[in-house]
DNA sequence: AACTTCTCCAACCGCAGGGTT
DNA sequence: TAACCCTGCGGTTGGAGAAGT
């Protein structure tokens, strides 16, 4: 399905600018195109994408080349499943910045804004839909804050314990369990999206978030903030249980919403 | 096996902002 | 300072493959 935009220029006179535009390729990249782009960038570096596209002999727009490079060909692009750490960070940063995908991506080394955006749309938004709430609603933010993020932290914690090499943190931290100020949960509260009194970017470097996450003690994060958090009557215990893939649990989340968001 | 529906993600589009002429 | 170009961002789309019937 090689799509070529419009007519192709016939032999004879050199192609006009219009013809060149009309001859631009669109759609999926071929191996040859990838090779040409990689080769050119390795010799000349990236940037100035329009002229790069011309000089590399690619019948693509500069935009297309840039996108292909940044989202796919760059050597440091990470592929594969989003890890719990990354998921937690995405939820966390999205709660702070909203759909600022590129900004969020800066804190996930090797992940592209496109990938994070896709993750959000295909997983998180879909799940919000299942819960019949808007991703920007208080309800949804509460689910994120009180269910998903603790679950993720629990997973990370468990994984860390299994590896027996958590950075000296260990138990008791209870980042989620403390008062409302300054703890992990507070980041998601209210309708904040953007940096009022903006925290310095350094302040939310991934390393600080990791350490916060790893300090979390699963049992301490549950019963606080005056919210009803006793899920024992719901299948699949809320704290503990199978850590393999229970981030999304519509039943539990519906229960949570029913007991905390009666309308 | 054939068909339909769903999911995921690569790639496109339009727009905004910044730099240059 | 207006016009143009380039880059980057966020939203959206379309197709391939997986899953379901």
- Would you place residue A3 in the very low, low, confident or very high pLDDT band (cuts 50, 70, 90)? very low
Q: Are residues A100 and A184 in the same domain?
A: yes
What's chain A's average pLDDT? 65
Our measurement of CA A92 to C1' B12, in angstroms, reads 29
> A247: closest CA among A82, A110, A114?
A82
Tens of pLDDT, residue by residue over A123-135, are 888 777 777 777 7
Cα gap A200→A198, rounded to integer Å: 6
Tens of pLDDT, residue by residue over A159-176, are 766 654 434 333 333 333
Q: Are residues A64 and A144 in the same domain?
A: no
Decide if pLDDT at A21 tops 50.
yes
Domain that holds residue A236: 84-260
> A176: closest CA among A239, A262, A84?
A239
Decide if pLDDT at A100 tops 60.
yes
Decide if pLDDT at A185 tops 80.
no
Residue nearest to nucleotide B7 (CA to C1'): A122
Structure tokens belonging to residue A36: 């040409």
Q: Are residues A228 and A198 in the same domain?
A: yes
> A185: closest CA among A102, A58, A92, A52?
A92
Structure tokens belonging to residue A85: 């750490």
Give chain A's domain count: 2
User: Which residues, 6 or more positions from A89, have their beta carbon under 8 angstroms from its beta carbon?
Assistant: A104, A107, A108, A206, A209
Our measurement of CA A123 to C1' B9, in angstroms, reads 12
Closest nucleotide to residue A24 (Cα to C1')?
B12
Q: What is the CATH number of the domain that holds A44?
A: 1.10.10.60
Q: Are residues A98 and A58 in the same domain?
A: no
Decide if pLDDT at A29 tops 80.
yes
Is A78 inside any structural domain?
no
Region A253-257 average pLDDT:
69
Least confident window among A137-141, A154-158, A167-171: A167-171
* pTM for the model: 0.67
Our measurement of CA A141 to C1' C9, in angstroms, reads 24
Least confident window among A89-93, A135-139, A236-240: A236-240
Decide if pLDDT at A35 tops 80.
yes
Q: Are residues A66 and A146 in the same domain?
A: no
Helix intervals (H) in A31-146: 31-44, 49-55, 62-68, 84-97, 101-105, 113-119, 126-130, 138-143
Q: Are residues A65 and A113 in the same domain?
A: no
Is A79 inside any structural domain?
no
Q: Are residues A33 and A105 in the same domain?
A: no
Determine whether the distance from the CB of A28 to the nearest atom of strand B is below 7 Å: yes
3-state secondary structure A166-196: CCCCCCCCCCCCCCCCCCCHHHHCCCCCCCC
Q: Are residues A51 and A134 in the same domain?
A: no
Q: Output the pLDDT for position A243.
A: 32
Our measurement of CA A5 to C1' C3, in angstroms, reads 28
Least confident window among A41-55, A151-165, A245-259: A245-259
């Amino acid at each position: 399905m090689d799509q070529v935009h419009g007519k192709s220029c016939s032999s004879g006179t050199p192609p006009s600018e219009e013809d060149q535009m009309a001859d631009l390729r669109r759609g999926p990249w071929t191996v040859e195109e990838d090779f040409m782009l990689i080769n050119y960038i390795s010799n000349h570096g990236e940037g100035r994408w329009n002229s790069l596209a011309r000089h590399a002999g690619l019948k693509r727009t500069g935009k297309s080349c840039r996108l292909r490079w940044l989202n796919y060909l760059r050597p440091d692009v990470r592929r594969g499943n989003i890890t719990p750490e990354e998921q937690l960070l995405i939820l966390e940063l999205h709660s702070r910045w909203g759909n600022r995908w590129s900004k969020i991506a800066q804190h996930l080394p090797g992940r592209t804004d496109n990938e994070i955006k896709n993750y959000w749309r295909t997983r998180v938004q879909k799940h919000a839909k299942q819960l019949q709430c808007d991703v920007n609603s208080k309800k949804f933010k509460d689910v994120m804050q009180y269910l998903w993020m603790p679950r993720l932290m629990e997973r990370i914690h468990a994984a860390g314990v299994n590896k027996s090499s958590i950075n000296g943190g260990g138990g008791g931290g209870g980042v989620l369990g403390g008062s409302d100020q300054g703890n992990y949960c507070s980041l998601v509260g209210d309708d904040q999206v953007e940096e009022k009194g903006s925290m310095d970017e350094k302040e939310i470097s991934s390393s600080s978030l990791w350490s916060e996450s790893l300090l979390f003690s699963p049992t301490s994060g549950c019963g606080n903030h005056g919210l009803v958090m006793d899920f024992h009557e719901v299948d699949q215990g809320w704290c503990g249980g199978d850590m393999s893939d229970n981030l999304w649990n519509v039943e539990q989340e519906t229960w949570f919403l029913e007991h905390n968001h009666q309308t």
